[in-house]
Structure 1
């Protein structure tokens, strides 16, 4: 058996052939096209923005994972197309493939691609550059937001101008030189770094130039769906609300028929294709724009109410979230303690020693329950709805001792 070697990034207008087994037949399929663009593109399945090659060869369901061949070498791997358009497909280029393989070989698992954790604004406007004291020969981008969990948070500041990344000048539109007279956004240089590798960043702060060394870390999920909507170059930040939940069972906690879950984008997608306009406005805005303030932070929401006498009158709380777009249903406090995540809420409820408990939601609504009556009702409700456990598996692991105590 002869193996194909990995090649280089094809140039614009070079011909490629996509090989695979797409829908519509059982035999192998080969479609040909030419390279239209080479630029960072949002990877739908990974919720990340990395270099991709756009081609005009048809890529259909079933093509994903198939090679794109240029001559006698592999130019990339087919992985997605542009919905609503004809013959616009994307392949993962060789540098991204090699970076992925190298990470697996070094650590034994997928670590992700690095990010600085920044949102940057172009400085193409002359008045904007003058305002931040940029000299005529200077080019760069304006730092508008920094992820509090990133290494850059303690080094860079809002309103810094990033002039260079590892000695490579950054243009006012955020691009850097790439091959022959081509340009690509500078975050491509960031994404090709290895985890824990450092980068030398040259910035302009209050009219003075500074050089900082920043340690780059991979992000489990890189959120970029607001790039075009916000007008920023890129939002390479780990989101407060996860974009995807691949290979992971949903987390939940049920108490007195109240079903609590962490907010995720798949949850918002349940509002339909037009989820951005039909889902609760508060939750949607926080999902798209807000950053975590601490590690492990989640937005916990009351998703539904399983009817019982114990929660009579509270069923409207979950309905308001669906009927009124300004109602979020986020759980803010339990007995006056701010909720960090679903596991924290679970621990507070399970360890509650008060006769009466209070849950505060973000729309100033309150849930009050007698703890002992609610605990008894929980078992009754779970049995009625044939639910085997009041909490998901990920929460059960941290509650083994509590469950054993309650069994005794």
Structure 2
């Protein structure tokens, strides 16, 4: 029997007893089962998708539901490999950590030249600051955009890809981009 199967027969906070062999000797160990949160949650039925649009760049949080859009049964074969790898093998490093990535680019003059090649790219830093989650991204964008000393904002993705946007042009483009794409708000509710 696989350990995962046996583990599923128990509940959180139950104690599991198992026997292992170390250097030819049997050792009996016990361990409590805890509820390890995964980097990409398995279930998020009670939550609306989280998103943030800045200069036409749509950032969102990686979820199983997003991956299921590629195929409910074969998502691990049809979805982008970088996202599948994070969903299957990523480990939570910090409390409230999320994978924030570019879902799509809403075409506009402000993001001219930024191609769809950036779609599904995982965001790592903003102006050199490591992103923890989408709320952290929103806070950084607000802080940088409202600071007169910061004329540009730099989004750095995995594989050394980056996007540099003028803060002033991003502010000027927001209403236009939302109207062109029939989007009511530039952010999901809890980020406003």
Please say whether Structure 1 and Structure 2 have the same fold, judged by a TM-score greater than 0.5.
yes
- Residues 115, 265 of structure 1: alpha-carbon distance in 2 compared, 3 angstrom cutoff: farther
Contact 2:104/2:116 (8 A) holds in 1:
no
Contact 2:19/2:29 (8 A) holds in 1:
no
TM-superposed deviation, 1:280:
1.7
CA distance in 2, matches of 1:114, 1:289: 22
1:276 corresponding residue in structure 2: 76
The answer to whether the aligner puts 1:164 opposite 2:54 as a matched pair is no
More helix per residue: 2
TM norm structure 1: 0.41
User: Aligned residues, how many?
Assistant: 182
Q: Bigger radius of gyration, 1 or 2? A: 1
1:193 corresponding residue in structure 2: none
CA distance in 2, matches of 1:331, 1:360: 6
- Residues 114, 270 of structure 1: alpha-carbon distance in 2 compared, 3 angstrom cutoff: same
Name stretches of at least 5 consecutive residues in structure 1 with no aligned partner.
Answer: 1-39, 43-48, 52-95, 97-112, 124-128, 140-162, 166-200, 202-213, 220-236, 322-328, 397-408
Over the aligned positions, Cα root-mean-square deviation in angstroms equals 2.6
Show the 5 A alignment for 1:10-25.
none
TM-superposed deviation, 1:122:
8.6
SS of aligned partner of 2:153: strand
Show the 5 A alignment for 1:347-386.
347-352=139-144, 353=147, 354-386=150-182
- Residues 134, 351 of structure 1: alpha-carbon distance in 2 compared, 3 angstrom cutoff: same
SS of aligned partner of 2:77: helix
Show the 5 A alignment for 1:387-406.
387-396=183-192
The answer to whether the aligner puts 1:253 opposite 2:69 as a matched pair is no
CA distance in 1, matches of 2:142, 2:41: 26
CA deviation vs aligned residue, 1:278-324 (integer Å, no higher than 9, x gap) = 222221111111211110001100011111111112132345x4xxx
CA deviation vs aligned residue, 1:219-256 (integer Å, no higher than 9, x gap) = 3xxxxxxxxxxxxxxxxx32101112112111000101
CA distance in 2, matches of 1:284, 1:348: 27
Which of 1 and 2 has higher RCO (CA within 8 Å, sep 6+)? 2
Name stretches of at least 5 consecutive residues in structure 2 with no aligned partner.
Answer: none
* Poorly superposed stretches of 4+, deviation over 4 Å: none
CA deviation vs aligned residue, 1:165-203 (integer Å, no higher than 9, x gap) = 2xxxxxxxxxxxxxxxxxxxxxxxxxxxxxxxxxxx5xx
